[in-house]
Amino acid sequence: MTERRIVVTGLGAITPLGNSVAEFWNNLIHGVSGADMITKFDASKFKTRFACEVKGFDPAEYIDKKELRKMDPFTHYAIAAAQQAVDDAQLTEGSYNPDRVGVIWGSGIGGLFTFQNECMAFAQGDGTPRFNPFFIPKMISDIAPGHISMRFGFRGPNFATVSACASATNALLDSLMYLRAGKADIIISGGSEAAVNEAGIGGFNAMKALSERNESPKNASRPFDLNRDGFVLGEGAGCIVLETLEHALARGAKIYAELAGGGASADAYHLTAPHPEGLGASNVMKSALEDSNLKASDIDYINVHGTSTPLGDVAETKAIISVFGESAYQLNISSTKSMTGHLLGAAGAVEGIASILAVQNDIIPPTINHETVDPELDSRLNLTFNTAQKRTVRAALSNTFGFGGHNASVIFKKYEP
Are 200 and 218 in contact by the 8 Å Cβ rule? The answer is: no
Please list the active-site residues: 165, 305, 342
Query: Mind listing the pLDDT tens digit of every residue in the chain (417 residues)?
Result: 568 999 999 999 999 999 999 999 999 999 999 999 999 999 999 999 999 999 999 999 999 999 999 999 999 999 999 999 999 999 999 999 999 999 999 999 999 999 999 999 999 998 999 999 999 999 999 999 999 999 999 999 999 999 999 999 999 999 999 999 999 999 999 999 999 999 999 999 999 999 999 999 999 999 999 999 999 999 999 999 999 999 999 999 999 999 999 999 999 999 888 888 889 999 999 999 999 999 999 999 999 999 999 999 999 999 999 999 999 999 999 999 999 999 999 999 999 999 999 999 999 999 999 999 999 999 999 999 999 999 999 999 999 999 999 999 999 999 999
Maximum pairwise Cα distance, the chain: 66
Measured distance CA(290)–CA(282) in Å, rounded: 12
> Count of CB atoms within 10 A of residue 199's CB?
16
| Helices (H), ranges, 157-211 | 167-180, 198-206
- Closest Cα partner for 198 from 34, 309, 74, 38? 38
CA 46 to mean position of chain CA atoms: 26
Are 172 and 242 in contact by the 8 Å Cβ rule? The answer is: yes
Describe the chain by its helix, strand, coil percentages, rounded to 5: 35, 20, 40
CA 28 to mean position of chain CA atoms: 14
Give me Rg for the CA atoms of the chain.
Answer: 20
